[in-house]
Chain A
Amino acid sequence: MKTLVNGIELWKTYDLGGVQVNALRGLNITVDKGEFVSIMGPSGSGKSTLMNMIGCLDSPTEGDLFIDGKKTSDMSESELTKIRSEKIGFIFQTFNLLPALTVRDNVEFPLRNINKKLSKSSRRKVVEECLKMVGLGHRMDHLPGKLSGGERQRVAIARALVNRPKFILADEPTGNLDSEATENIMELLHHVNREGTTVIMVTHDKETTKNTRILRIRDGVIESNRMRTDSIPIPYPVTG
C-alpha cells in the first residue's frame, strides 16, 4: 500500500517567554492511502498540533514530514498553501462555512484556489455532484445560517471533497453535533472513505471510532495504535 503521510521523529516546541513547551516529542506516524484513522488523546496531548502539521498549516521544529511523497517539513509558506489547496480537504469542529455565500458557492470556493481552469458549467456540475453525494441537492441555494449543524457539516464535507483531495483532515468533526447527526456524519465519512479518500480524524467520542485505526496520543507521542473492527456499517444512503 502507498504511504500518504509519513512523519519521522516530529518535534514541535513552543517558546512561551523562555519556557519551552514541547507539544510533540519525537512522534512517528504513517498513514496509508485508503485508511480511516482516528486520533484520540487527552486535551493538550498534541492532537491539533499534529493535525496542523499533517494539514501543512504548520511545520515541525524538528523531524521530517512527507505528504504524498513530498517533503513538506521545509517548504515555504506558498508551497504549503498550494499543497493544502490540491491535496487536502479540511473539516472543522465548528463547520467554518463562509456565511455570506450560499451552500453552492461555499462548496465551489476551493475551486478558486487551484490552477486547473474549469469551465463554468463543469464547475457547476462538480459542485452539484458533491452536494448530491452528501444529500443536500435540495439546499444548494440556501445560506449556511439557515441550515442545521448536521447539514452544515455535510456542506463542509462537500467543500472538502470538491477538489478531489488525497485525504481529509477532520478535527473533531462531530464535536458540535447531537448523536443522530453524529451518526449521519460518520456514515458519510465512511462512505467517502470507501470511495477512496483517506480520512484522518481527531475525536473524543468512542462511538465514532468504529471500523477505524485508532492512534492514541499522550504527551506528544503515540501511545498505542490498534485497528478496531465492528459490524459492517449500513451503507450511506445516496439521496438528492
Chain B
Amino acid sequence: MLDVAFKDFKAKKSRAAMCIVGVMACVLLIGVVNIVMYEMESGLKGDLGTVNGKLYFEQNGTAYPPVRSIMNEDIGNEVMNRSEVDAEKSTKALFAPLQGDSVPNGGNPRMVVGLTPGKERAFIGNVEVDGKSSLVGEGENAVIMGSEAAKDFNVTLGDTFTVNDNEFEVVGIMEKVGSGWPLTIDNSLIMSLPYAQSISDRPDFISTVIIEPNAEYSVQTVENNLQDAYPKYVTYSEKDAQKTIDENLKGVMVFMNMVIAMIFAVSMVLIMNVMMMSVKEKTKEIGTMRAIGTRKRSIMSLIIYESLILSSIGGIIGILLIPPTYNLLGMFMGATSFNFTIPTTVLVQVALIVLVIGTFSGLLPAYLANRISPIEALRYE
C-alpha cells in the first residue's frame, strides 16, 4: 500500500505541499530550539568545566567568569600562602573585559585574563597551545590568545597588535575548547598579571585567586576554612558551577520544552487535519476499495503511510534547513564561524519527533477511514 499512498500523495500536490511546508517549519523550529538548548548547555558546561577540582576565591557574589569580583592583591598573597593552597598550581588572577574603540566589533566579549607567569595551567588546564603555553621568559606584553580572540583580531603566532594604545605580542594560540558557542577561554587574552593590571587600570587589584587545593585537603575543607577566615569573601567551586548551569538553564529549558510541545501539537493537528480532509474526500474511493475486497488493515496502512510520507518529506526538508537557519541566526547574533553541523542527539530527537507526528496524526484519520461502510460510500454520489 506504500506505493498507492505515494501516488495518492502525488495526486494532491497543493495540499501535500501545504502540509509539508507546515511540518518543515515545525521541524525547523523544534530543531533550532533544540540546538540552542544543546549549545547553551554544552557551552555552559564547557565554560564551567574550567572550574572542576578548583576553587575561585571571589568577592561580590559567586559567578564565572568572576568579572565583578575585585580585591586587593595583598589578600590574594595571603590566600596563596595558606597551607591548604598548592602554591605551585594556584594563581592570582585578574579578569577584565577588553573594551574600547579598537576592539573588533561583534562576537563575544574579549576577556583579559592576567595570571602569574608560570601558573597559566591553573586557568587553561590541559588545553593544547600552539606556540608557548607559558609566559615565563617572554616580554611583558606577551599574550596567549584564545582561538576565537585570535580569529577576531586576525592574528597568528608571532604577530604584534595594538588595542587601546597597548601593544601585544602573540606567543601562543590555544586550540578551540567550546564545540558550539565560544567559551570564555576561547575569547581570552592571557597575559602576565602586572601587564593586565596596567592596561586595565587596576594596579594592585585582582579578581580572584584560582586555587588548586593541596593534596591532603578536599575542596570542601578548603572552602570551609576560607569561609571561616574570610567571612566577607566567597568561594566558587564545582558545585556552584552545577548550580549556575541549573539556574541558567532551568527556566529556559522549561520554556523551550513548552515551545517544543506546542510546535509538536501544531504540526500533529496540521497533518491530522489534512489527513481527515483527505479521508473525507476519498470516502467513495475507500468504499470502493473495501467493496472489491481490500482489508481494513490495508486501508489503515494506506492512510498511515500517507501521513508518514507527508511528515517525512517535511521533516527531511526541515532537518536540511536547520544548519543554514542556525548559521543565519548565529550571524545576526554576531558569530563569525559557519561550519555548523547538527549534533547527533538533536538529529535523532527530531527524526523521532517526525516519526511520531507521522504515525500518530495518521491514527485518527485511519480509524475514520475504517469506519466507512462500503454500502454507504457507494450510495453517496
Contact = CB atoms under 8 A, between A and B. Distances in A.
Interface in A88-103: 88-90, 92, 94, 96, 98-101
Given A52-B375, A57-B375, A92-B288, A100 B11 contact: yes
Interface string A130-162: 000000000000000000000000000001100
A12 to B, nearest CB: 11
B4 A78 contact: no
B254 interface: no
Among A52, A84, A98, the most chain B Cβ lie within 10 Å of the Cβ of A98
Given A98-B285, A105-B7, A113 B292 contact: yes
A152 to B, nearest CB: 13
Contacts of A55: 291
A85 interface: yes
B65 to A, nearest CB: 62
Interface residues of B, number: 24
A58 interface: yes
B375 A99 contact: no
A58 B294 contact: no
A105 B10 CA distance: 15
B243 interface: no
A34 interface: no
B8 to A, nearest CB: 5
A81 interface: yes
Given A98-B285, A105-B7, A57 B291 contact: yes
A81 B293 contact: yes
A58 B375 CA distance: 8
B174 to A, nearest CB: 60
A110 B288 contact: no
Among B284, B285, B294, B378, the most chain A Cβ lie within 10 Å of the Cβ of B378
B42 to A, nearest CB: 47
Contacts of A94: 381
Contact of A96 (B4, B10, B295, B378): B378
Interface of A: 48, 52, 55, 57-58, 78, 81-82, 84-86, 88-90, 92, 94, 96, 98-101, 105, 109-110, 112-114, 159-160, 163
Interface of B: 1, 4, 7-8, 10-12, 284-285, 288-296, 298, 374-375, 378-379, 381
> Which 6 interchain pairs have the tightest Cβ spacing?
A85-B293, A100-B11, A84-B293, A113-B293, A96-B288, A100-B7
